[in-house]
Amino acid sequence: MAPLPQSTGGVTPWWRNRRLIPWLVQGASGLALLVLVAFLLGNLVRNLTAAGLLLSWGWLDNPSGFDIAETLLPFNAGLPYWRALLAGLVNTVRVVVAGLVGATVLGTLVGTASFSSNGLLRRLARIYVEVIRNIPLLLQLVFWYFVVFLSLPNGTAAIQLPGLVLAKSGLYLFQPELVDGVWHAPLRFTVEFVALLTGLVVYTGAFIAEVVRGGVAAVPAGQWEAARSLGFNPLQTLRQIVLPQALRVIVPGLNSQYISLAKNSSLAVACGYTDLYSVAETTLNQTGRAVEVVLILLGAYLVIDLLISALMNGLNRAVQLRER
């Protein structure tokens, strides 16, 4: 800081002290904020107590009394609420992890396709991005579930490929068999899961494609030309020269797309998938513990997103340009 302009003779009065005043102002605003928050919290607790709604967590141990359609953890209606919420959380994590992988693959393919020398491929990539980006996700989920997947036939009429069957009831992998008109397979996903995953992947994929396109475009054209003159073919150039450099630009952008995907997964209820939000909603209605359930929801999504963020920041440090 530049030396303070001293007034001619005498001591600077305290209200003109450039060091003291910011401290005083900030301290006073901080104190006012604290008092306000304390007042609001105190009032909240007092009124919640008066309304008999003060936070309590004992209900988490009560039997839930409802069933969940598909779970990785075994669950039945006799198990307590916290087990139901846990099963919901696992379902959310399952669709988020699968969605992250799918959206990244799709986004990278489409993002790089927009640099293709093939004009048709380039235009298709642009059309995909522009159409998908500009339609609300909720509408897309409803479309995928009710229009696309629920129009699939069941039984023998289902779509059959080697090792794969796609029917109205779900996706069956690894040697599906038809027993009494119902498909069975070692690996089965319900149509609700498949619809939600498709919706999330297609939607987030469009945004990731833009992030990837931006990253690739940020690599100077000279790098492409240099690689070509060294005899690299286009695919090699992309994989070994351009993408490693583009990653530095891509990763921070990916981070926010990944976080969006995790949050958007709470739209699962639109297509009947039992995620954390859906379980929490049922719990809220059965117990009436609105504030607690919303707090659990907020906490869970916050933790998931912070985890994704931490992982991506780690990745970011790994791909960053290290200056020596």
Give residues in contact with other proteins (CB under 8 A): 40-41, 43-44, 47-48, 51-53, 65-70, 76-78, 136-138, 146, 150-151, 154, 168-169, 191-192, 263, 266-267, 269-270, 272, 274, 277-278, 281-282, 284-288, 290-291, 294, 297, 301
For residue 65, the minimal CB distance to other proteins (Å) is 5
Find out whether 249 and 215 touch, Cβ atoms under 8 Å.
Answer: yes
> How do beta strands 170-173 and 177-179 pair?
unpaired
Looking at the Cβ atoms of 3 and 181, the one nearer to other proteins is 181
Looking at the Cβ atoms of 60 and 238, the one nearer to other proteins is 60
- Tell which residue, 106, 62, 102, 112, has the closest CA to residue 85: 62
For residue 303, the minimal CB distance to other proteins (Å) is 15
Classify residue 66 by burial, with Cβ atoms within 10 Å: 0-12, 13-18, 19+. Answer: middle
Who contacts 219 (Cβ-Cβ below 8 Å, separation ≥6)? Answer: 241, 242, 245, 246
Give the Å distances, CA to CA, from 244 to 67, 249, 320: 47, 10, 10
Looking at the Cβ atoms of 224 and 301, the one nearer to other proteins is 301
Looking at the Cβ atoms of 27 and 65, the one nearer to other proteins is 65
Q: Which residues pair with 172 in a beta bridge?
A: 165, 188
Looking at the Cβ atoms of 254 and 270, the one nearer to other proteins is 270
d(CA 243, CA 258): 19
b (16+ CB within 10 A) / e for 8-33: eeeeeeeeeeeeeeeeeeeeeeeeee
For residue 27, the minimal CB distance to other proteins (Å) is 25
For residue 30, the minimal CB distance to other proteins (Å) is 20
Looking at the Cβ atoms of 138 and 230, the one nearer to other proteins is 138
Find out whether 149 and 160 touch, Cβ atoms under 8 Å.
Answer: no
Who contacts 223 (Cβ-Cβ below 8 Å, separation ≥6)? Answer: 241, 242, 245
For residue 118, the minimal CB distance to other proteins (Å) is 37
For residue 112, the minimal CB distance to other proteins (Å) is 31
